[in-house]
Amino acid sequence: MGRYVARRLLQMIPVFIGTTLLIFLMVYTLPGDPVRGLFGDKGADPATLAAMRHQLGLDQPILVQYWEYMKGIVLHFDFGTQIASGRPVTDVLGDAFPVTLRLAGMAFVIEIVLGLGLGMAAGLRAGRLTDNVVLVLTLLIISIPVFVLGFIVKSVFAFELGWIAPNVSNDATWGELVAPAIVLGSLSLAYVARLTRTTMAENLRSDYMRTAVAKGLPRRRIVGVHLMRNSLIPVITFLGTDLGALMGGAVVTEGLFNVKGIGGTIFESIVRREGTTLVGLVTVLVLVYLFMSLLVDLLYAVLDPRIRYA
């Protein structure tokens, strides 16, 4: 087990370097200039611009910049400085990240509870009314883009019924985040429900299920232990990559409900060509993604004893 984890961690290094280098290249080959942007329409004299670029290290070749940047992250946990505000990116992250983590975490819990619940309800009654209702419902959810769903939720629950405030306050309390979290998690919820439903309906027909029934085990145990344990693997695979996707996809939901999370920060840094901030934020998202996929692989062994990591 320990050796497996160590090997996986080593394998992550090239992927991590590749992904961060890719985003770095993409950001730094963008036209436009964050330094010039600081001075607005009037502009500044070329010597000042050159001096500032030199100070920020922007006059170095790209690969040198990348090397310096990664050295900063690994050695000093230094993600660089936001050019416009002069704040360290770690500060900016520290403000925005907890909010997004709370939002994505809530969406994730909603997705697991409702998605698994609906999927089980449908899978155990495959072909009957419940099943068809769940299938049509989830198909509709998948078809409605997130921002449209956000507007529906906002106009029904905020404007018509007045149950929620249309915008989340700066504190972003748990209660305020419920509606945004439902909107953010809805698409994945539908996928989880469908995935659970299909694997359960398939496994219901398997030999071990017949054996379990024939042994006279109580239904709770058959479904809860034998069926669930075997049906969860594809669902776990999906869920594992989804937490990172939820955080990256929060751009739209955060904009809709005015949540001050990393989505807004990312959007702003793309528009302003704030390379360092953007690369820092994406680096964190990539780390979350890599960590979650490792966790998923380890969970496989827990769920299925046939999978062993020597």
Partner 1 sequence: MPDLTKTAPVPDETKAPVADPSAVVKADKARSLWGDAWQDLRRNWYFVISAGLIVILLLITAFPGLFTSASPTTGDLVNHFLGKPELSKIGSPEWFGYDGQGRSVYARVIYGTRASVIVGVAVTLAVTLFGGLIGMLSGYFGGWIDALLSGFTNIFLGLPFLLGAMVVLQAFTDRSIWVVVFALAFLGWTQIARVMRGAVITIKQSDFVQAARALGASTPRILFRHILPNVMAPVIVVATISLGVYISAEATLSYLGLGLASPTVSWGMDISGGSAQIRVAQHILIYPSIMLSITVLAFIMLGEAVRNALDPKTR
Footprint of partner 1 on this chain (CB under 8 A)?
14-16, 18-19, 22-23, 26-27, 29-31, 126-127, 135, 139-140, 142-148, 151, 154-155, 159, 184, 187-188, 191, 194-199, 202, 234, 237-238, 241-242, 244-249, 251-253, 255, 266-267, 270-271, 273, 278, 282, 285-286, 289-290
Choose among 270, 277, 109, 243: nearest CA to 181.
Answer: 109
Comparing CB distances to partner 1, the nearer of 52 and 191 is 191
Contact present, 188 and 115 (Cβ < 8 Å) = yes
Shortest separation between residue 51's beta carbon and partner 1, angstroms: 27
Q: How far is the CB of 90 from partner 1 (least distance, A)?
A: 19
Query: From CA 161, how far away is CA 157, in angstroms rounded?
Result: 5
C-alpha 285/C-alpha 78 separation (Å) is 16
150 vs 219: CA distance, rounded Å: 40
Q: Which residue intervals of the chain are DSSP H helices?
A: 2-28, 34-38, 46-56, 62-76, 89-124, 129-143, 146-153, 178-203, 207-214, 219-221, 228-248, 250-257, 262-271, 275-303
Instruction: Provide the minimum distance between the beta carbon of 15 and partner 1 in the complex, in angstroms, as a whole number.
Output: 5
Encoding tokens for residue 82? Answer: 């936001």
Nearer Cβ to partner 1, position 18 or 98?
18
71 within 8 A of 23, measured Cβ to Cβ: no
Report the candidate in 12, 31, 188, 170 with the shortest Cα–Cα distance to residue 114: 188
* Nearer to partner 1 (CB atom), residue 30 or residue 50: 30
Q: Which is nearer to partner 1, 62 or 126 (CB)?
A: 126
- Residue pair 103/171 in contact by the 8 Å Cβ criterion: no
Cβ distance to partner 1 smaller for residue 76 or 205? 205
* Nearest approach, Cβ of residue 216 and partner 1 (Å): 30
- Least separation in angstroms between CB 21 and partner 1: 8
3-state secondary structure 79-112: CCECCCCCCEHHHHHHHHHHHHHHHHHHHHHHHH
Answer for the pair 168, 258: CB distance below 8 angstroms, yes or no. Answer: yes
Q: Are 28 and 270 contacting, i.e. CB atoms less than 8 angstroms apart?
A: no
Nearer residue to partner 1 within complex by CB, 62 or 217:
62
Q: How far is the CB of 245 from partner 1 (least distance, A)?
A: 4
Q: Tell me how far, at minimum, the Cβ of 79 lies from partner 1, in Å.
A: 16
Q: Say how far apart CA 164 and CA 158 lie, in whole Å.
A: 5
What distance in Å separates the CA atoms of residue 259 and residue 262, rounded to the nearest whole number? 9
By beta-carbon proximity to partner 1, the closer residue of 22 and 109 is: 22
**Cβ of residue 232: shortest distance to partner 1, in angstroms?**
13
> Would you say 149 or 172 has its CB closer to partner 1?
149
